[in-house]
Structure 1
């Protein structure tokens, strides 16, 4: 896990070079559209030939990444796969304040493949390379940004409601960072659900309580229908967990249910944070108990859980001690929710095999203890809706959310399709899961714990990156002794297929990754910064410049003269080439303007390079602070590109 300081630098990089990262997002989206178009040529072309145009138009990694998401669609049957534990995702649109700041969308959705793409813009530690990591997370379903609460209800909540009306137990969980619309989505779903409830039953019993931290670093349950009176969470004789002492409100109409829920929500704990003026700082649980005879013979239960938003350490600098304690409890309970789901799926995959039974650690957290039946009862229907923010400043949050909910899925691509290193060497493949100790794939989806441990060493010892495959570290000791240690960095290795130890290499939590180095953007910036350098103009560029001027007279410059030759003429030489003095003065004024634009473009180029170097060295203040002679890089370079002859 990268340090908080480095994460702040990454966010600053996306703000400083938003135009470049936005172009990388466009490249992926256009590549995906082109891949879907070229798919229709498969019937007329030999195998693999339809992919070639895409590889010529876009970066090879981006082309292959888009092809796999738009054509191969390995996760397209996710919505039809039977599972009692489903994971969905909803992305909110950019807010007005984010649009005013000219932020770009860092998330893309693949509806046909049921996956979310995170576009993570970064500056490399060399201070010269800017790149984007495209990470694909496959889920059981994704909602587009324009999806309504009705669509979310029909896909996520309606099957659970019908199951509860049949006398079963079901749970709907809303998961995500602060400010992504969890509570908005939850209340919108409840509004739609209330209308359908009383179309199938005449009454329903409501319980609403929250789980929040108390003094002493512990968690407790508080009844939101009884002025936050404390209640207990106990296991009943039936093996299910119940909240004892909670007030139950009998509702016989939609209006009664809406009024009871509104009263409960008024008592929910919330605090002002850096991310949200009214952030929910507790897990809110709403239970709907259906009487026997609604559509089934036994009582049914639908539990709706609106989880508190997760926050990173670098966004909690203004938190008090009590807020920090509650935040730690929230993050721990969310971590255990992911861990219980992961162990549950792993245990299901080992059924029938001669392995030891895996115990689901639901007692490690009060939240997972309450949701025990979601992990231990196969008939219990559970749906998790992850809410995401498309803002580039929230990329770390989006990755964290998707990594957590991705672990909750019953079918992960890298778990079901892991290739054994021995069989790869023999040219064979095996569908059996090989665990975390098998490295496979193109190499972009690999991450080295050892490299994370060496982050501090890079600041203390001489480091020399030799190739994109690896490098070396020189460890200097007392005296003249030194030790050279060479390593292979699998994050940059495309064809690495070896078996290593579990504590050394682990697979990234994304199902697929592609790294796009923005070399074309750097070349465009360099070209634009030199667009007004008269010394670099060839004869054609000089003639185009003269044609763009509105001179009073005629200029007799040879068609073979370059900008460097014109620059050496001086004022007298220019007068000799012009038909009159007024034309010579106008030409000299135009050339003086070009020299000023060239100075501004050069200053902008230096400023951009300095900021990139500072961010590569994780010096965020040096990159963000504006000096007295600050030059607007994007404006100057844009002007240079538009005014280039």
Structure 2
């Protein structure tokens, strides 16, 4: 048969009562020809309906099968960590981790040379966090990348992850030892002080994230083995340099001091926490009046000073950590020329106070809130001073804003100054928001370093 448009056109051109019209049927259209067409159309329609029913049935079976598989997966995941209220987030993190390739730092990679080095270190979940069935929300897939799997809830309470990526000079996972961290952070700075420069290494992060462990050494119960901290490792390398053929003829003298900055005041950790004054002389050199500076002849003497100072540190209590340090601890190794005792180089190693969450200190008393305000002010000032160091030709250094930056003023001046920041991260889901804040701070410092 002709197409419908053609049939319509033919029907409209036939005169009324015309012969051969077959009761008004258009000319040229056979009644017998339309019968098989109708049968065929009906068969096609029935065939399409059957196919659609079969397709719907197949889809329904697939849905049922998928639901059964999901139920099995859910039960398997719940059995994997029984009683974990966050098992769904745990499952999503595992699924994401299975989709990416892991090539973490091994310790065999070459050490890069930067004026400002920024790296991050993730610690393992501790006993308390494991007992609470905390979920590890931090992944370290490569030697310079860290991913935070931030747990989120939609309006309908559907759970999902927001995977936030950060890139630094180095990223240390929870399998990295203090020795590996030291190799890529403070160790390259030791040579700086022998070349007449000023070196500074900071440990930054939330209370309980591992700053004191990294800088001061491993804890065995409540006692600290300071031989395995960055303080002691740096001291060992300083004495190794002193004995080398290049520097032995210089007869350099090594001395050490250890002090803390608490609520904007400076205290000597090697002299029963005597309060010290910070003054600026006519040459704009900052002096800590009365600071104990002990000449040391070997590593053991340095270790004794570190132990003495660690025991004297100011500690307080926050909900984040019942034995948290609320002060900045500054351990300095000074190399001087003989005779005139002129400073040849200085290495400042700083264990910064915890940058607490507002929620952790909001219920605290007035003194604790003032402590937190002072700590936050000094950390912001530190970032600004590192910014000034990273910007060539910038003569303005806002070091007077806080006591921390004031006593470290000479560390931020000159082409020979080098700085390293180690941002410490707690992997627990409950610390996720604060870990992100720490990483954003470090990321900002990394941007500053990019201006070298």
Where in structure 2 are the equivalents of 1:209-228 lying within 5 Å? Answer: 209-213=259-263, 219-228=264-273
Note if contact 1:291-1:300 (Cα within 8 Å) is conserved in structure 2.
Answer: yes
Q: Find the residue that maps to 2:185 and give its secondary structure.
A: helix
Partner residue, 1:190: 231
Q: Which runs of 5+ in 1 are unaligned?
A: 1-14, 37-68, 70-76, 214-218, 352-356, 417-645
Note if contact 1:209-1:224 (Cα within 8 Å) is conserved in structure 2.
Answer: yes
- 1:579-602 deviation line (CA, Å, top 9, x unaligned): xxxxxxxxxxxxxxxxxxxxxxxx
Q: 1:378 aligns with which of 412, 415, 438?
A: 415
Calculate the TM-score normalised by the size of structure 1: 0.50
Q: Which protein shows a greater Rg? A: 2
- 1:261-316 deviation line (CA, Å, top 9, x unaligned): 211222210012212121111111111111337xxx96211111110011112112
Q: Does 1:364 pair with 2:411? A: no
| Pairwise CA distance, 1:237 | 5.7
Where in structure 2 are the equivalents of 1:209-248 lying within 5 Å? Answer: 209-213=259-263, 219-236=264-281, 239-248=284-293
Looking at structure 1, the residues matched to 383 and 85 of structure 2 have their Cα atoms a distance apart, in angstroms, of 34
Q: Find the residue that maps to 2:193 and give its secondary structure.
A: helix
Q: Does 1:312 pair with 2:343? A: no
Q: 1:392 aligns with which of 401, 407, 429?
A: 429
- 1:106-142 deviation line (CA, Å, top 9, x unaligned): 1111324x12111110113x24332211111111111
Instruction: Name the one with the larger strand percent.
Output: 2
* TM-aligned CA distance change 1:174 to 1:232, over 3 Å: same
Where in structure 2 are the equivalents of 1:9-48 lying within 5 Å? Answer: 18-33=86-101
Note if contact 2:192-2:416 (Cα within 8 Å) is conserved in structure 1.
Answer: no
* TM-aligned CA distance change 1:237 to 1:172, over 3 Å: farther
Q: 2:256 aligns with which of 185, 193, 206?
A: 206
* TM-aligned CA distance change 1:21 to 1:285, over 3 Å: same
Partner residue, 1:338: 383
Looking at structure 1, the residues matched to 389 and 260 of structure 2 have their Cα atoms a distance apart, in angstroms, of 25
Note if contact 1:342-1:407 (Cα within 8 Å) is conserved in structure 2.
Answer: no
Note if contact 2:138-2:146 (Cα within 8 Å) is conserved in structure 1.
Answer: yes
Looking at structure 2, the residues matched to 375 and 410 of structure 1 have their Cα atoms a distance apart, in angstroms, of 17
Partner residue, 1:88: 119
Partner residue, 1:97: 128
Where in structure 2 are the equivalents of 1:457-536 lying within 5 Å? Answer: none
Q: 2:170 aligns with which of 135, 141, 147?
A: 141
Partner residue, 1:116: 146
Q: Find the residue that maps to 1:256 and give its secondary structure.
A: helix
- The aligned length equals 345
- 1:65-89 deviation line (CA, Å, top 9, x unaligned): xxxx9xxxxxxx9964x53111111
Note if contact 1:341-1:407 (Cα within 8 Å) is conserved in structure 2.
Answer: no
| Pairwise CA distance, 1:33 | 2.4
Q: Which runs of 5+ in 2 are unaligned?
A: 1-82, 217-228, 244-252
- 1:127-169 deviation line (CA, Å, top 9, x unaligned): 4332211111111111121111111111111111121133321
Q: Find the residue that maps to 1:154 and give its secondary structure.
A: helix
RMSD (Å), alpha carbons: 3.1
Looking at structure 2, the residues matched to 33 and 327 of structure 1 have their Cα atoms a distance apart, in angstroms, of 40
Calculate the TM-score normalised by the size of structure 2: 0.69
Looking at structure 2, the residues matched to 170 and 410 of structure 1 have their Cα atoms a distance apart, in angstroms, of 20
**Which has the higher relative contact order, 1 or 2, with Cα contacts under 8 A spaced 6 or more apart?**
2
* TM-aligned CA distance change 1:108 to 1:236, over 3 Å: farther
Looking at structure 1, the residues matched to 449 and 300 of structure 2 have their Cα atoms a distance apart, in angstroms, of 43
